[in-house]
Amino acid sequence: MPARRSVRVPNLPELVMKKVLTVFLFLLLLAPASQAREQSLLARVTVYWASGGRGSDRWTRRHICSTGARLQTGHCAVDPRRIPYGSRVTLPDATLVAVDTGSAVVSRKAARHAGRTAVERSALVIDRFFETKQQALSWAGRNPYFMLVRVSPPDFRASVISQPQQLRPLPVSNLRPEVMAAPLQPSQGPRRSLEDRPKLSSRYAR
């Protein structure tokens, strides 16, 4: 008679663990990386305002932004393809919420014109909102054109064991000597028409 061949039957716990591991790996592949981590980057930070003189469009004067939220101090305009709406943008002196955009922000006009190096010319533009022109010009005069910022996606949750990171300003040698007297470069170009703007969403309002 031919010898019997033994067949190994996996036990139940082993099968369960394999299934759990397979499901976990599948979900891990589906999760977008941008929703799970912060990023630090070099940005050309410009300013715009609602009142106080020339330099703002009619939508900004009415505190209307691209997401439908009412513009207020602590808001900023970004390129939503690179920084999603609702993201937290941490500057050395403040944390802003990305709720608006503009043609000059998307085209990175201010970075391309003010950048001295290839890295600066390729930097993203972040347009910080102020209520008045005086506040905007005062802040712009005290800060360099380019600075390191930290961007946290809308659904980012910081780990309870991670240590908070502090953003350091760029070395003094990298700052432009004419930053205090240089003319301001506010965002240019019309923003979206009222018809194109979405309705108010509580997700982006503060």
- Give the pLDDT of residue 156: 75
- Give the pLDDT of residue 191: 46
- The answer to the question of residue 31 being in a domain is no
Q: CA 116, CA 163: separation in Å to the nearest integer?
A: 34
- The answer to the question of residue 133 being in a domain is yes
Q: CA 108, CA 145: separation in Å to the nearest integer?
A: 13
Cβ atoms of 109 and 125 closer than 8 Å: yes
Q: For tokens 């009412």, name the residue.
A: 70
- The answer to the question of residue 19 being in a domain is no
- The answer to the question of residue 15 being in a domain is no
Number of C-beta neighbours around residue 147 at 10 A: 20
Residue 39 backbone dihedrals phi, psi, to 5 degrees: -140, 140
- Give the pLDDT of residue 194: 39
- Give the pLDDT of residue 107: 96
Q: CA 60, CA 77: separation in Å to the nearest integer?
A: 11
How much is the pTM? 0.64
- The answer to the question of residue 28 being in a domain is no
Rounded to a whole number of angstroms, the CA Rg of the chain reads: 24
Q: How high does pLDDT run on average in the chain?
A: 76
Full residue range of the structural domain in which residue 176 is found: 38-157+165-196
- The answer to the question of residue 189 being in a domain is yes
What residues contact 16, with CB distance under 8 A and at least 6 apart?
A: none
Q: Which residues of the chain have pLDDT under 70?
A: 1-36, 157-206
Q: What does the buried/exposed string (b/e) look like for 155-175 if buried means 16 or more CB atoms within 10 Å of the residue's CB?
A: eeeeeeeeeeeeeeeeeeeeb
- The answer to the question of residue 55 being in a domain is yes
Q: What is the DSSP string of 103-126?
A: HHHHHTHHHHHH-SSHHHHT-EEE
- The answer to the question of residue 33 being in a domain is no
Amino acid at 60: T
Structural domain total, the chain? 1
